[in-house]
Amino acid sequence: MNNLDQVSGFRNSVFRLAAAAACLVAFSGTLTAIAATPQEIATTRDENFDEIGKNMKILLGAAKAGVVDDSTIAAAAKISELSKALPGWFVKGSGPTDPGVTKTRALAEVWTKPEDFAAKVKAFQEAVAALQPATATKDMAQFGPAIKATADACKGCHDTFKKPKDK
Ligand code: HEC
């Protein structure tokens, strides 16, 4: 084998590596392009609500302790972010009566009573919009009522649109 063969052999393997990498990129691009299944949409929704629940726990803990700190403020910011995204989680076709959905606590009413549902979403977003500045004051006299209003808004929607845990 002379030097030239070695160089071209090297070039060849570099080329093959590059081609393999390009294939991988193309493949993962295809994967991302495939739409989520109805169950995947419902599962992601559930995970997002778990995230809301986790942050709400932090806020309720702060209310109980009577102390608002930076982690409380961060939790309120996270809930605010999630509350804005919430309408997008209820994609048509991801409800309990839709084909391919085997596990969801969302009730069909979300999609059969869209105006009522939108009103609950709005009430929640308004409560959260007031919660954030109230939390930032670190003043319990402001934080207390704001967290109560937010919890009421969670319940307000769950009462009509979420299957209770024990059912
Ligand atoms: C506009 C309606 C609405 C609002 C507002 C809302 N939720 Fe929910 N929530 C739902 C629905 C519907 C589900 C079921 C989602 C699924 O399983 O597909 C759900 C699911 C959950 C879950 C998942 C576990 C379970 O019990 O099924 C938690 C935790 C949760 N919500 C907490 C909260 C908290 C805390 C708030 C307020 C800070 C809140 N939610 C506000 C409608 C709402």
CB 74 within 8 A of CB 131: no
49 CA to middle of ligand 1, Å?
A: 5
- Nearest to 132, CA basis, from 157, 114, 149, 152: 149
Ligand 1 proximity of 147 Cβ (cutoff 6 Å) = no
Ligand 1 centroid to Cα of residue 140, in Å, is 26
Report the nearest atom of ligand 1 relative to the CA of 45.
18
Cα(74) to ligand 1 centroid in Å equals 20
Ligand 1 in reach of 126 Cβ (< 6 A)? no
Q: What average pLDDT does this structure show over 43-68?
A: 98
Kindly indicate the confidence band of residue 164, based on its pLDDT and cuts at 50, 70 and 90.
confident
Q: Is the CB of 101 under 6 A from ligand 1?
A: no
Q: CA-CA distance, 128 to 81, in Å (whole number)? A: 9
pLDDT tens-digit readout, 77-121 = 999 999 999 999 999 999 999 999 999 999 999 999 999 999 999
**How confident is residue 69, by pLDDT bands cut at 50, 70 and 90?**
very high
| CA gap 132, 73 in Å, rounded | 7
Residue ID of nearest Cα to ligand 1 atom 30: 49
Residue 30, pLDDT > 50, answer no
